[in-house]
Amino acid sequence: MDNQETKNRGPAVRVDYEQVSEILKALAHPARLKIVSGLLKNECNVAQIQRVLGLPQSTISQHLRILKNAGIIKGRREGNKICYRVIDARGRRIVDIVKSK
């Protein structure tokens, strides 16, 4: 199959399926999709995300940890708060595709 794909599509592109599956698993929850969608517009902290989603702070923190461990978001300390932003282009594209439907 790889040989046929190479003939039809040009040079084979190496895909890290393990890493891609981790990104998909991390995004496979409605709250995490909403968090990433919101972070694509603006950096924000847990309190801001909590206000928008109406979820408990501990739940937001758990979702952020999963997204951070998957390499989708990164936190930046501002005083006593951490502002989160999306850093993974694949995660960004996946959420953009979901939003476009």
Q: Are 57 and 46 within 8 A, CB to CB? A: yes
- 68-79: b (≥16 Cβ within 10 Å) or e: bebebbeeeeee
In the block, tokens 């930046």 appear at 76
pLDDT tens digits for the chain (101 residues)? Answer: 454 444 556 677 788 899 999 999 999 999 999 999 999 999 999 999 999 999 999 999 999 999 999 999 999 999 999 999 999 999 999 999 998 97
Instruction: Enter the pTM of the model.
Output: 0.83
